[in-house]
Structures are given as C-alpha cells and as structure tokens.
C-alpha cells in the first residue's frame, strides 16, 4: 500500500499537474484559433464566419459556459482570497515561505502582464497576455506545491484540518482549471494564453518541483 501511495504521489508532482493544466489551456487556445472569427464577432452577424466548422459555438453558448460572475469572482479580485485560505495549511506543513515566494513572483509580474501591450510597437497593441490565466495560475501554484505532500498521520485536530484543507484546495483547483480553459477558448489567442503559461511555470522551475 505504501509503495502504491508513493507511486501515486510521484505521478502527480506539481510539474505533472502543471503539464496537464497547460495541455488543457493550449488545447482550448487551439480551438480559439479555429473559431476566432465568430468569437471576435461576439454574436453579431458576420458573413465571413460562415465557413467555420461545426465545433464552433454561438455567442450565447459562450456566455453560458463562461459567465461573467465566474471570472470576476476568481480573477478580477486577484488571488488574495485563495492565498488567505491556503496560508494556515501551508503553515501547518512548515511551508509558509513557499507562499511568500509565490506572492513576490506574482507582484513582480502582474503589472507587466496587465500593461505590456502598451509598450509594444504599433500594430501589436491588441496582443495582450492573458491576465486571467496568470491569476488563475498564481492560485494553482501553491495548491500544486502543497497538495502532493502526504497528509500528516495521526488523529489530531490539526491533521484533520489539514487533510480537509487539501481536499477543498484540490476541488477549488478543478474550478480554476475549468475557468482557465474557458478563458483560453473564448477570450484569448493561443499565443496570449501560452505567454501566461510560461510565466506560471517560473515558480515551479525555481522550486525544482
């Protein structure tokens, strides 16, 4: 049993989780490339979109699959809420410094992500790295770096709280993954989503995970 648990833990390292998330985002970004015409039209009649394949969705389906309240609640406010929820769990595992590293990485890059398009040459101002995917990644990174750790043994209340926190965090990570895919599919080009992925990979590389 312990050997099986160790194999499972090794298979789901933070980098493995990142690769799975990145594959989802890139696949959705590729779909965006195929359906870019109707997505740019945002429901307006455009005869140029008539030749798009059947896999493309009408705009009312897009808004139903990616409601504004979801992106606002998980992206516009930034990752502060999830960081506050994760802080006690990280402190219990002795990895509070990990969250500080993520905070510093986020603060160092978020302004560049938001405003880099203003510094680009004429004709490139429309290119905008996905700030939402970057923010979702800033919430996923500490979850990935913590959830793979084996739960503490024993019946203590602290252990029970930590195990519960891991399960809640993993459930929240699934919602973040869905929001990431929806953002890449409906609101950003493939290159804009890929740029955000590269930035999210940096703290994982720094921690060697």
Per-residue pLDDT at 109 exceeds 50: yes
Rounded CA gap, 124 and 201, in Å? 24
Return the SS3 of 130.
coil
Q: Which residue has the higher pLDDT, 12 or 197?
A: 197
CB 178, CB 13: distance < 8 Å: no
Q: Give the pLDDT of residue 5.
A: 43
Rounded CA gap, 167 and 135, in Å? 21
Q: What are 164-201's pLDDT values in tens digits?
A: 666 777 788 899 999 999 999 999 999 999 999 999 99
Q: Is the pTM of this model over 0.85?
A: no
Per-residue pLDDT at 136 exceeds 80: yes
Q: How far is CA 105 from CA 17, 67, 112, 130, 136, in A?
A: 19, 29, 12, 16, 14
Rounded CA gap, 57 and 60, in Å? 8
Q: Which residue has the higher pLDDT, 188 or 148?
A: 188
Average pLDDT over residues 23-38: 92
Per-residue pLDDT at 44 exceeds 50: yes
Q: Give the pLDDT of residue 196.
A: 93
Average pLDDT over residues 144-171: 62
Extract the tokens encoding 12. 């789901």
């Amino acid at each position: 049993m312990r050997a099986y648990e160790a194999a499972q833990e090794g298979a789901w390292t933070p980098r493995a989780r990142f690769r799975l998330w990145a594959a989802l985002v890139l696949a959705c970004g590729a779909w965006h490339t195929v359906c870019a015409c109707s997505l740019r039209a945002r429901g307006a009649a455009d005869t140029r979109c008539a030749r798009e394949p059947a896999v493309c969705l009408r705009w009312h389906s897009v808004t139903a699959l990616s409601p504004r309240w979801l992106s606002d609640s998980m992206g516009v406010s930034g990752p502060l809420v999830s960081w506050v929820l994760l802080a006690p769990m990280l402190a219990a595992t002795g990895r509070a410094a990990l969250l500080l590293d993520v905070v510093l990485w986020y603060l160092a890059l978020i302004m560049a992500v938001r405003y880099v398009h203003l510094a680009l040459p004429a004709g490139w101002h429309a290119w905008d790295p996905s700030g939402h995917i970057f923010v979702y990644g800033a919430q996923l990174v500490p979850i990935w770096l913590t959830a793979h750790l084996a739960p503490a043994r024993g019946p203590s209340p602290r252990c029970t709280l930590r195990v519960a926190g891991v399960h809640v965090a993993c459930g929240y990570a699934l919602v973040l993954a869905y929001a990431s895919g929806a953002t890449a599919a409906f609101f950003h080009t493939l290159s804009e989503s890929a740029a955000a992925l590269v930035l999210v990979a940096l703290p994982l590389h720094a921690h060697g995970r």
